[in-house]
């Protein structure tokens, strides 16, 4: 139909379509809104605190970040203590430790709590691996034959846990896209340094900004074995023809040693490591550690990371009790319970209302309760227990093993452009599946057993469908309202193609050709154009304010305005970008870079630029 001939009546239809756009935006907000994680009540935390085993000699003192040296000296004089930064990274956080006489500890804490420059003062305490977790480990002899197909890792056949979460399908969809995952544990066997070796099945993984918070050095090597095993689940080199496979084969690992060779570490060091990870580009944190008691310092660190856009994943604990341990129980953390190979919750896993999701943790016990079932554990490459000079393949069991499965899939979701931790958690929960032939309850499974391919597809396509629908509504409204004044161009399929290109891309492509979905070009085509910053800047740079603005539609229109045939698709593209921006203005799945995270400025930026894009589309359709 030639729409250049005369003005047509489209005002009524345009008003109806704009109303539908408004309704769609409200539905978007309602559909994607997250329910706040309340965590344990204040009364429950207080009850835990009474029974907490703390260090009688040391206290943690968290000062306001802008405290001056003079104010620091005054605090020391008033309390009669000497404050020392807990490590070399703590200067920005102003987190101190003081050694005190046990008999004066409570009086000193009372003095500090009254000081307005002190945010938190509490006894220092230890968090640790489960005391019997290492008793459950079993070594496995490396296979001599190679598995056919993908992956070709010889021992992959023993990794039932990867198949339980659907990794054979997930590997075809996503690889992690360079997302940084911080592993807070006993360290990682990531380098050949002094007596330490790099594990053969971690060669090729990129490691960034390591730090040892136990000895205060930049070499976060593993002298225990637990941290390397956990890292292997997240990022063991996959399809390299040796050993075993991991969940996210193209992530970067930030090794942060917070636990000693004995498997324990200070709450102060763990809290500082959380903030260090958040400040140095980590988008996912895994903590396969914990304790039965809360800490204000640790809770504040988890909250800090969450507000900075970091997804925090934690083991629920191995005490077989109906109460999730800390930090897993804190708001802002994803608490993970453990399943075994038949999808039942394991005998050791903690459970309770704070459980968010379940993942494979394994069970190496035989029917008699002994260590006679190594194939029932989670198998990864690690160092020999306590000997960093020897590499081995070992099956462990514990919620410590379940947590990194979730952290790895969380990284795959972040790699798809969903970087807001609440949105990541929602994708994980909404895509989780119920156990097969096992009784299901939310206190044990949370939302269900994690389903990796379903999570990736939901991350990529659930938003894409909404973006395309919103784009088509906007495209109709713009065209209908412009008809009333008379269009200057003829609309056709190219107009709608521009809408798809700008709004959603071919979001449905992963369902049609999953084997191609992780290819960079295909990955870009399955997103609306602003989200192409994922391919150029990575997940850490996703949400770039220049990409997520009217700048690109404006530039293209400036170049192509004088070409009549180009104005239709350019108008459609501007409308599509408007829909993409409007979607994320209502559903904040990432933080807009260069925008302060106050007063909703990121959403305001997106909304304003969406309106500008609609104006550009109207301009392109004028005579």
Please give the average per-residue pLDDT across 336-363, as a whole number.
Answer: 96
Banded pLDDT at 7 (limits 50, 70, 90): very low
d(CA 174, CA 161): 18
pLDDT tens across 61-75, in order? 999 989 999 999 999
Q: Is the pLDDT of residue 50 over 50?
A: no
Pick from 589, 494, 593, 592: nearest CA to 29: 589
Mean per-residue pLDDT, 553-560? 93
Contact 413, 424 (CB under 8 A): yes
pLDDT value of residue 9: 52
pLDDT band at 489 (very low <50, low <70, confident <90, very high): low
- State residue 266's pLDDT score: 93
| CB-based contact 277:388 (threshold 8 Å) | no
Sheet holding 387-396, edge to edge: 138-140, 387-396, 378-384
Mean pLDDT over 413-423 rounds to 91
Q: How confident is the model at residue 29 (pLDDT cuts 50, 70, 90)?
A: confident
Prediction pTM value: 0.87
Does 50 or 277 have the greater pLDDT score?
A: 277
Nearest to 426 by CA among 26, 32, 24: 32
Beta bridge partners of 138: 395
Q: What is the pLDDT of residue 46?
A: 35
Q: CATH class for domain 134-450?
A: alpha beta
pLDDT band at 53 (very low <50, low <70, confident <90, very high): very low
DSSP letter at 147 equals P
Active-site residue, from 58, 62, 124, 185: 185
Residue 226 a catalytic site member: yes
485 pLDDT higher than 80: no
pLDDT per position as a tens digit, 443-475: 999 999 999 999 998 887 768 888 999 999 999
| β-bridge partners, 313 | 286, 334
Mean pLDDT across the chain: 88
E strand or H helix at 580: helix 564-586
**Torsions phi, psi for 615 (to 5 deg):** -65, -40
pLDDT of residue 121 exceeding 50: yes
pLDDT over 70 at 283, yes or no: yes
- Catalytic-residue membership of 356: no
Report in angstroms the alpha-carbon separations of 285 from 131, 143, 253, 541: 23, 32, 10, 18
Q: What is the pLDDT of residue 534?
A: 84
Catalytic option among 62, 87, 175, 226: 226
Cα 514 to Cα 516: distance, rounded to the nearest angstrom: 5
Residue 386 clears pLDDT 80, i.e. is over it = yes
Torsions phi, psi for 298 (to 5 deg): -70, -40
pLDDT of residue 144: 52
pLDDT over 70 (residue 40): no
- Say which residue, 507 or 340, is predicted with more confidence: 340
Q: Tens of pLDDT along 301-335?
A: 999 999 999 999 999 999 999 999 999 999 999 99
Distance (Å, whole) CA 369 – CA 375: 15
Domain ranges (residues) in the chain: 11-33+457-620, 134-450
CA distance 65 to 217: 23
Asked whether the bond before 151 is cis by omega within 30 degrees of 0, the reply is yes
- Which of 142-156, 269-283, 299-313, 427-441 has the least mean pLDDT? 142-156
Q: Which of these is catalytic: 395, 400, 431, 603?
A: 400
> Rounded to an integer, what is the distance from CA 155 to the centroid of its chain?
28
- 134-138, 347-351, 372-376, 599-603 — which is least confidently predicted? 134-138
Annotated catalytic residue 41:
no
- From the list 286, 244, 176, the residue with the least C-alpha distance to 539 is 176
pLDDT of the residue at 238: 94
Q: How far is CA 225 from the centre of its chain?
A: 24
Does 486 score more than 90 pLDDT? no
pLDDT in tens, 175-214: 898 999 999 999 999 999 999 999 999 999 999 999 999 9
pLDDT confidence of residue 52: 39
């Amino acid at each position: 139909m030639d729409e250049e001939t005369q003005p047509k009546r489209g005002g009524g239809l345009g008003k109806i379509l704009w109303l539908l756009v408004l309704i769609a935006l409200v539905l978007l907000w309602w559909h994607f809104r997250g329910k706040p994680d309340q965590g344990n009540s204040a009364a429950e935390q207080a009850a835990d605190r009474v029974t907490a085993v703390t260090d009688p000699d040391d206290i943690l003192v968290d000062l306001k970040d802008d405290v001056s040296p003079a104010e620091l000296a005054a605090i020391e004089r008033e309390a009669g203590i000497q404050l020392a930064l807990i490590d070399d990274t703590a200067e920005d956080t102003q987190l101190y430790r003081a050694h005190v006489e046990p008999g004066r500890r409570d009086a000193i804490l009372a003095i500090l709590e009254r000081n307005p420059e002190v945010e938190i003062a509490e006894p220092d305490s230890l968090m640790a691996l489960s005391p019997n977790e290492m008793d459950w480990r079993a070594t496995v002899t490396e296979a001599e034959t190679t598995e056919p197909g993908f992956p070709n890792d010889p021992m992959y056949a023993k990794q039932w846990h990867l198949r339980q979460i659907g990794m054979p399908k997930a590997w075809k969809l996503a690889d992690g896209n360079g997302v940084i995952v911080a592993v807070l544990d006993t360290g990682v066997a990531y380098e050949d340094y002094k007596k330490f070796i790099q594990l053969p099945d971690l060669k090729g993984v990129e490691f960034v900004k390591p730090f040892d918070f136990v000895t205060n050095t930049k070499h976060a090597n593993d002298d225990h074995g637990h941290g390397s095993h956990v890292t292997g689940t997240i990022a063991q080199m996959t399809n390299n023809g040796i050993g075993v496979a991991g969940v996210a084969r193209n992530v970067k690992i930030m090794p942060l040693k917070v636990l000693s060779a004995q498997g324990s570490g200070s709450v102060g060091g763990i809290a500082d490591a959380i903030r260090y990870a958040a400040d140095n580009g980590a988008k996912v944190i895994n903590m396969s550690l914990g304790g039965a008691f809360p800490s204000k310092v640790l809770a504040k660190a988890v909250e800090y990371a969450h507000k900075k856009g970091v997804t925090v994943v934690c083991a629920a604990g191995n005490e077989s009790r109906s109460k999730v341990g800390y930090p897993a129980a804190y708001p802002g953390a994803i608490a993970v319970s453990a399943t075994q190979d038949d999808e039942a919750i394991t005998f050791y896993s903690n459970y309770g209302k704070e459980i968010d999701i379940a993942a494979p943790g394994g069970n190496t016990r035989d029917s008699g309760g002994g260590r006679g079932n190594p194939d029932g554990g989670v198998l990864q490459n690690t160092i020999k227990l306590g000997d960093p000079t020897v590499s081995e393949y070992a099956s462990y069991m514990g919620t410590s093993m379940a947590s990194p499965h979730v952290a790895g899939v969380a990284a795959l979701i972040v790699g798809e452009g969903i970087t807001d931790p609440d949105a990541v958690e929602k994708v994980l929960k909404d895509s989780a599946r119920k156990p097969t032939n096992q009784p299901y309850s939310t206190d044990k499974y949370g939302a269900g057993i994690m389903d990796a391919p379903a999570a990736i597809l939901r991350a990529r396509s659930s938003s894409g469908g909404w973006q395309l629908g919103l784009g088509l509504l906007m495209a109709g409204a713009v065209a209908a309202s412009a008809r009333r004044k008379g269009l200057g161009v003829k609309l056709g399929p190219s107009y709608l193609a521009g809408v798809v290109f700008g709004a959603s891309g071919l979001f449905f492509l992963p369902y049609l050709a999953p084997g191609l979905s992780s290819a960079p070009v295909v990955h870009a085509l399955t997103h609306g154009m602003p989200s192409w910053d994922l391919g150029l800047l990575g997940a850490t740079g996703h949400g770039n304010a220049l990409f997520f603005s009217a700048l690109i539609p404006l530039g293209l229109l400036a170049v192509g305005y004088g070409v009549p045939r180009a104005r239709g698709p350019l108008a459609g593209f501007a409308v599509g970008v408007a829909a993409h921006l409007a979607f994320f203005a209502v559903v904040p799945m990432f933080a807009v870079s260069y925008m302060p995270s106050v007063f909703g400025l990121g959403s305001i930026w997106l909304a304003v630029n969406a309106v500008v894009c609609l104006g550009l589309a109207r301009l392109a359709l004028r005579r």
